[in-house]
Structures are given as C-alpha cells and as structure tokens.
Chain A
Amino acid sequence: MSAFSLFNYWVVILLMMAGFYTVIASGNLVKKIVGLNIFQTSVFIMYISMGKVTGGTAPIAAENTELYSNPLPHVLILTAIVVGVATTALGLSLISRIKQAYGTVEEDEILEVTQREDDVT
C-alpha cells in the first residue's frame, strides 16, 4: 500500500474542510449554503472513491467484463444528490424570507436587529 493510495481521501478532507471553514467563518448566509454544498460534494466523492475497484468498469453488465465497480455507493449518492438539491432549495427559500424580514442576509446585522428589538421591549 503506497501513500498514493490514500490521496483521494486527502483531497476529500481538503474539500470538506474548505466547506466547513466557509460555513463557520463566513457571515453571509448564501455563502454558508455554498459552503455546505461543497462539504456535501466532498462526502459524495468519498463514497464514490470507496466504491471504485482498480481495473473495474461502470456497473452495467456487459459481455467480456468480469470486474465491476461497486454499485451500492453509486445508488446512495445518486439519491443523495437529488435530496441535496431539494434541501438546498429549502435553505435558499429560508434565506429569501430572512431577507424579507430583516432586510439583510449578514449574520452580524441580523443579530444587531434582534438585539435592538429586545432592547425596545
């Protein structure tokens, strides 16, 4: 087992951390959603890399082929992508409503507004 055999997982970790950093460090809600999506894609890539078999082909039965990649992770990720876009849409619609209610999508400014409202009451 060479060091290169883990290279895929390290790329995944790099991407995952980039997404994670965006989520916790950025104050803008839209950017947080993008970060969450990057995080999500990194998990997809990890699953798919685990399913890969060296020398295998895509898991569609054909003659003269013996070795296939593992179809199970493909199935899981396929549905996860579609569910992912549905939940992203839900998040974006929440942002839309927040913008309507607070006039901003920056986390700091939203906190300020709620603080002021608390002071008034």
Chain B
Amino acid sequence: MLSMTAIAVVRLQSLFGVVILFGVYSLLSASIFVVLDAVDVAFTEAAVGAGISTVLMLATLVSAGRTEKPSNRNPWLPLCVVGITGAALVWGTLDMPGFGDPDNPIHHHVADRYVNASPTEVGIPNMVTSVLASYRGYDTMGEVFVVFTALIGVLSLITIRQPRKQLPLTPAADSPDNRPFPILQVMSIILIPFIIVFALYVQFHGDYGPGGGFQAGVIFSSAIILYTLTFGFDDAILLIPPGVVNTLAAVGVLIYAGTGVISLFKGGNFLDYGVLAHDPIHGQHIGILIIELGVGITVASVMIAIFFAFFSRAERPIK
C-alpha cells in the first residue's frame, strides 16, 4: 500500500493531490513503525509527517501554484539511472542478514548494554529515552542545534509578517456573523485543551512510556497550528507573539547545554547527570527530565515559528 501511494505521488501532476497523498504516506509509514515495535518513532512520524510537513507544504503551494507544468523532458534517462541504482542496491541486500534475526550484528555491539543495563544504570524503563537523553546525549544536543539553526535559516529567508493594524474590537466585529469558520472554530476550541494536556503528558511521561521532548514539542505546536488555521494569523500572534517564540527556541537550547555545563561544575563530565543529585540514579532522572524539557521547548517553538513564517506569507485577508 505504501509503495502504491509513493508511485501515485510520483505520477500525479496536481501538486495539491501530491501533498495530501504525502500525508497519507506518512501516516501509513507510522503504522509500519508500530508494527516494527518502534512506538516512539511512530509517534513522531504521525505528528510530523502527517501533520506539520503537510501543512507547511500546503502553505508553500499557496504562493507556488497548484499544478505542475507537464515536462517535455525525456523520462528514459532518469528511469535508466534509477533502475541501475535499484538493481545495485538489491544486489547489495543479498548480503544483508535476515530480517528479525536476534543474532544480527546490529544487535550485538552497544545495543546489548543499552537493553540489559539501562533499566538499572539510568533507572527508567523506556530504553529509547535513556539512550536518547543519557547515553547519546551529545548527539541529541547536536540535533537540537540543527533544528535551531534551521529556524534561523528559515527566518533569514522569509520573515514573519507584522500584524495588520488591529482595530479596536467592536461588538459587531466579534459577532458570530463575522467569524469565517464557526463550526471549525468551535470544534478546535474543544480539541485544543486536550491536545495540550496530551502534549504535556507525553513530555513528562516519556521516561516510562513512549514519548519525550521531540514528540511533545511537535504535538504542542500542532495545537497552536490548529488555532492559527481556524482563527487566523492576527489572532494567533496576540496569543503567542513571534518574539516570545523565537526567544523560547533559544531558551530551550540553553537549558540543554546549560545542564551539561552544570554537571561540569559539579565535577562530572559534560552532560553526566549522575552528579546532579546525591544518588546517581536520581541524578539521571533529574537530568533527563530537564534536557527533555529543553528539547520540548525548542522543538515546539521552532515548529511554531516556522509555521508562522510560512502562514503569514500564505494567508490572504478574509473578506
């Protein structure tokens, strides 16, 4: 089914259809991740792929046009290249170890230690979180930096539009007749609190169940995106000014790196949480909680800021 969707994406010329199909494709791959036991990954893919990137692409389509021009290029040369590369890769897989075999080399270098020792060394049941935040804390910090840098890049290319002059709200302007999408707005008012509560649950329960800063950040930002989509940009930036979002993105990175520096001052290595409390396990708990918070804040505010930048360009005033 996944392959069928992918091929449909390749062949369609209506870009609108392509983007919507891409959302479907992401949701399908999320369900595949669940089947393959990667619940944390599935979580992220569902929120990111089916939610945020689809919305961002739609916002781009508003300015870039909806249909692709038919190309008069010869399709055979690329097809040939693709065929040869594919054949070479299939030949390569013949040397791969079989799927799902517990004796595969990938399961026996560091993975043994992660699986067997992490519940006692780090003290939290979710191994994905303990590897992400503790064993490979440096990597994750790098990823947070990359996300933050991408925000700087986007904002230097397209700026967030200043809000239109707000007229003082007259009773007439706030009446139900002037609201463009009453049903959507009522529905999203009901949904948004639940989305935010769920995001906070995912954030702070990430030690024990699937979840963590990355997922929580994405889910939280999707609540704000829903609000912006139904109520319009001008209302949304009254709720969350872009300046605050940009500052929060930097604050999240600072929390992460700051935790590392504090552990240096306490006599440990950079990002060594064991020294944060008297008991190393307790220290690990605190450290992971703090840096996941930093990750969550950065990811949420970066997504919101990027969305604001796109949406403020795409939105047309509603008459």
Residues of chain A touching chain B, judged by Cβ–Cβ distance below 8 Å, are 1-2, 5-11, 13-22, 24-31, 33-35, 37-38, 41, 44-45, 48-62, 67-75, 77-79, 81-90, 92-97, 99-100, 105-106, 108-109
A-chain residues with CB within 8 Å of residue B299 when the two chains form the complex: 82
29 contacts between A and B (CB under 8 A): A5-B101, A6-B94, A15-B3, A16-B86, A17-B85, A22-B9, A24-B82, A28-B15, A30-B19, A37-B53, A41-B29, A45-B32, A49-B36, A52-B36, A54-B100, A54-B101, A54-B102, A58-B38, A74-B38, A81-B41, A82-B48, A86-B150, A88-B53, A89-B154, A89-B306, A90-B153, A92-B310, A93-B153, A96-B313
B9 and A62: CB pair below 8 A? no
| Inter-chain contact B2/A70, CB cutoff 8 Å | no
Main secondary structure of the interface of B (DSSP, over half): helix
- Interface contact B94-A18, CB-CB below 8 Å: no
Contacts of A19 in B (CB 8 A): 6
Residues of A within 8 A of B53 (CB): 37, 85, 88-89
Interface size class of B (residues with CB under 8 A): 35 or more
Binds A, one of B111-119, B188-196, B273-281: B111-119
B60 touches A86 (CB 8 A): no
Q: Quick one: which of B92-111 are within 8 Å of A by CB?
A: 93-94, 96, 98-102, 104, 106-107, 110-111
Stretch at the interface among B70-78, B173-181, B232-240, B261-269: B70-78
What chain B residues lie within 8 Å of A8 (beta carbons)?
99
Q: Is B102's CB under 8 angstroms from A67's CB?
A: yes
Q: Which residues of B contact A (CB under 8 A)?
A: 2-3, 6-7, 9-10, 15, 18-19, 22, 25-26, 29, 32-33, 36-41, 44-45, 48-49, 52-53, 56-57, 59-61, 63-65, 68-69, 71, 73, 75, 78-79, 81-83, 85-86, 89-90, 93-94, 96, 98-102, 104, 106-107, 110-111, 114-115, 118-119, 125-128, 131-132, 136, 139-140, 143, 146-147, 150-151, 153-154, 157-158, 208-210, 212, 214, 217-218, 299, 302-303, 306, 309-310, 313
Nearest-neighbour CB distance to chain B for A14, whole angstroms, equals 5
A58 B18 Cβ-Cβ under 8 A: no
B89, B127, B209 — most chain A CB neighbours (10 Å): B127
Contact partners of B45 in chain A: CB under 8 A? 41, 44, 81
Q: Which 7 A-B pairs have the closest CB atoms?
A: A54-B100, A5-B98, A86-B150, A69-B37, A25-B78, A61-B125, A71-B127
* Contacting pair B110 A14 (CB below 8 A): no
* Residue among B18, B29, B33, B140 making CB contact with A31, cutoff 8 Å: B18
Q: How far is the CA of A79 from the CA of B146 in the complex (A)?
A: 10
Known: A24-B78, A30-B64, A82-B214. A75 touches B93 (CB 8 A): no
With a cutoff of 8 Å between Cβ atoms, the chain B residues found around residue A26 in the complex are 10, 68, 71
Separation of A73 and B136 alpha carbons in the complex (Å): 12
- With the chains together, A22 CA to B68 CA distance in Å? 13
Residue from B83, B143, B302 whose CB has the most chain A CB atoms within 10 Å: B143
Report chain B residues within 8 Å CB of A53. Answer: 37, 100-102, 107
